[in-house]
């Protein structure tokens, strides 16, 4: 019986290729950056764009938040931010470094997901002002976004319980009932808001001229809805019970607890300043830049759901000896001071990146930069590469990424025989060739032919062209002392733990990047997460 059961149970397949991420390395590097940032009176904003440089954005950010106390992250796109927000609760900050693309629809998504936005120039300013003035459409979109998120959460919850089919189609009986109950709960919440508005008006003495309290509007301000409304939908049963409990408490005269996130939702936006990168941003020397920021701030004072949060720029070079870097920062301070002189406070400023902070220790965040009449600005350094150990100039950082693959075949060839496409490698002697289950479709550059890998603690050479799904390695010199066998591991880069528990790194990612005239981040971003199993090691 046990034999039959074991045959029916699907085996756990060994991965053909593995991308191992060292969480200890990430922790060490983050703390190194954090200590360095503290010397410049600033905090760290962890860059997790491009799936955390190929290391896994959700996993990396969650680890940094829980284990290191990081509360600010930035990504490149809104979709990346939403993917991250699904794991990181508000008020953990998530900033999109790139400009909004789908205008004005993106504004609704920024608002709903509580993601901070980059305002990069006149095209964004114009559309944002139009969006602020179109209150009716904005509120309709808020309802639609909340309903969509609620439906997705309910569908996901019930799919996991086997309540509805995995297609998430709501056209069947269960789905129709589900949709009706969601609608009833949302209508009930609107009525609760109306009753509360009526009570607030009555208690404050405001209302009609005859002293009677004005009835609540038929459609209450959706901007005032709690930020956590949709997060209550962990399942219809739970949501319904919460609503019933609130009704019972109200009927018995029990004051409800203040809901979480009672404050109004707003888009927190940062102004990008073009000080020399030539990509996008406000021009420091143009009066329009100050006026545009003031106009957007004025809209927030009039009730629009936007809030001026910060000013930032990006350095083209990371050298304290560069006159251009000095000029860039001077231009940034010029616009910063002009904004403050106009009467606005700047909550946060950020200008640096990993190289500027670690390699040269540019003193960007001194007292003069952060000082303002109200509460001083909070300085941030945006760090990505350093957290992943990808700044070779800074020796205190630890490598984080190890790419390895399984050897699937070991065979012999005779002198004069060739290996791989185009016969680019011909054996000069009788040789033993190991075929490794990883190729350029997995993220190994084709230009790596002739490069080095590590097998059984020994450096070996790649022979022939790198194929789509595999590559070949000459292991002739290993056959006498440490024969290579099918199932052995081939390390393409990164540290490995030896038999004594020590860390050995014979094939360094930085050396491969240098030989290929590229960057470490390009290599790790290129690892295909669908074909290469990603694992996290502490």
Helix, strand, coil abundance in the chain, percent, nearest 5:
40, 20, 40
Selection from 262, 267, 228 nearest residue 132 by Cα: 267
For residue 243, the model assigns a pLDDT of: 52
Check the CA dihedral 318-320-324-329 and report its sign: positive
Q: Where are the domains of the chain?
A: 23-136+263-383, 158-251, 401-537
Task: Check whether 215 has a pLDDT greater than 60.
Answer: no
Flag the least confident range among 6-10, 441-445, 473-477: 6-10
**Please, are residues 443 and 521 in contact by the beta-carbon 8 Å criterion?**
no
What is the radius of gyration, based on Cα positions, of the chain? 29
Burial 375-412 (b: 16+ CB within 10 A, else e): eebbbbbbbbbbbbbbbbebeebbbbbbbbbbbeebee
Higher pLDDT, 324 or 162: 324
Stretch 362-372: mean pLDDT: 72
DSSP state of 357: I
Task: Check whether 508 has a pLDDT greater than 90.
Answer: yes
The pLDDT-based confidence of 39 (bands split at 50, 70, 90) is confident
Per-residue pLDDT tens over the stretch 329-350: 889 999 999 999 999 999 999 9
DSSP state of 43: E
Stretch 366-387: mean pLDDT: 87
The secondary structure of 183-212 as a DSSP string is HHHHHHHHHHHHHHHHHHHHHHT-SSTTSP
Task: Check whether 204 has a pLDDT greater than 90.
Answer: no
For residue 144, the model assigns a pLDDT of: 80
Task: Check whether 244 has a pLDDT greater than 50.
Answer: no
Q: For strand 425-426 and strand 418-419, is the pairing parallel, antiparallel, or unpaired?
A: antiparallel
- Cα(344)–Cα(356) distance, rounded to whole angstroms? 28
For residue 333, the model assigns a pLDDT of: 92
Q: Is 468 annotated in some ligand binding site?
A: yes
**Please, are residues 437 and 17 in contact by the beta-carbon 8 Å criterion?**
yes
Task: Check whether 517 has a pLDDT greater than 70.
Answer: yes
User: What is the fold of 23-136+263-383?
Assistant: TIM Barrel (3.20.20)
Pick the CATH number of 401-537 from 1.10.357.10, 2.40.37.10, 2.30.30.40, 3.40.50.410: 2.40.37.10
* Residue given tokens 């699907």 in the structure block: 10
Q: Is 186 annotated in some ligand binding site?
A: no
- Cα(337)–Cα(32) distance, rounded to whole angstroms? 31
The pLDDT-based confidence of 480 (bands split at 50, 70, 90) is confident
Mean pLDDT, the chain, as a whole number?
Answer: 82
Per-residue pLDDT tens over the stretch 163-177: 554 444 444 444 555
Stretch 206-226: mean pLDDT: 41
């Amino acid at each position: 019986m046990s034999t039959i059961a074991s045959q029916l149970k699907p085996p756990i397949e060994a991965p053909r290729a593995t991308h191992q991420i060292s969480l200890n390395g990430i922790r060490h590097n983050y703390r190194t950056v954090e200590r360095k940032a503290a010397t410049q009176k600033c905090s760290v904003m962890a860059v997790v764009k491009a799936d955390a440089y190929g290391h896994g954005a959700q996993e990396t950010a969650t680890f940094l938040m829980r284990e290191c106390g990081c509360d600010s992250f930035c990504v490149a796109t809104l979709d990346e931010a939403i993917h991250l927000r699904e794991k990181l609760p508000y008020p953990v900050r998530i900033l999109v470094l790139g400009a909004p693309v789908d205008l004005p629809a993106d504004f609704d998504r920024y608002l709903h997901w509580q993601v901070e936005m980059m305002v990069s120039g006149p095209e964004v300013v114009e559309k944002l002002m139009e969006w602020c003035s179109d209150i009716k459409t904005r509120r309709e979109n808020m309802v639609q976004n909340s309903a969509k998120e609620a439906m997705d959460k309910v569908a996901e919850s019930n799919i996991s319980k086997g309540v509805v089919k995995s297609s998430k189609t709501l056209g069947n009986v269960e789905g129709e009932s589900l949709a009706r109950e969601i609608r009833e709960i949302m209508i009930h919440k609107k009525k609760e808001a109306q009753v509360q508005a009526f009570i607030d008006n009555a208690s404050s003495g405001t209302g009609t001229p005859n002293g009677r309290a004005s009835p609540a509007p038929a459609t209450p301000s959706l901007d005032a809805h709690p930020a956590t409304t949709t997060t209550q939908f962990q399942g219809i049963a739970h949501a319904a019970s919460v609503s019933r409990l609130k009704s019972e408490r109200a009927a018995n005269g029990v004051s409800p607890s203040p809901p979480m996130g009672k404050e109004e939702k707003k888009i927190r936006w940062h102004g990008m300043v073009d000080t020399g990168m030539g990509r996008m941003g406000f021009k420091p020397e143009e009066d329009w830049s100050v006026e545009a920021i003031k106009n957007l701030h004025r809209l927030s004072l009039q009730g629009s759901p936007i809030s001026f949060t910060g000013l930032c720029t990006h350095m083209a070079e990371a050298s304290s000896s560069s006159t251009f870097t000095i000029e860039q920062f001077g231009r940034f301070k010029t616009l910063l001071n002009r904004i403050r002189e106009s009467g606005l406070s700047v909550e946060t400023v950020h200008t640096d990146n990993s190289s500027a902070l670690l390699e040269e220790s540019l003193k960007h965040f001194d007292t003069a930069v952060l000082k303002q009449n109200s509460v001083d600005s909070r300085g941030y350094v945006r760090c990505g590469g350093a957290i992943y150990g990808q700044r070779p100039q800074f020796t205190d950082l630890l490598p984080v990424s190890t790419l390895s693959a399984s050897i699937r075949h070991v065979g012999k060839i005779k002198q004069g025989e060739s290996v791989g496409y185009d016969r680019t490698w011909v054996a000069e002697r009788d040789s033993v060739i190991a075929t490794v289950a990883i190729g350029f479709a997995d993220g190994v550059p084709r230009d790596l032919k002739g490069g080095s890998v590590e097998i059984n603690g020994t450096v070996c050479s790649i022979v022939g062209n790198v194929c789509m799904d595999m590559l070949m390695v000459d292991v002739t010199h290993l056959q006498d002392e440490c024969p290579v066998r099918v199932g052995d591991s081939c390390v393409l880069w990164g540290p490995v733990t030896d038999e004594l528990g020590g860390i050995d790194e014979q094939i360094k990612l930085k050396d491969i990047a240098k030989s290929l005239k590229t960057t470490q981040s390009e290599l790790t971003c290129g690892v295909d997460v669908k074909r290469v199993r990603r694992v996290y090691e502490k």
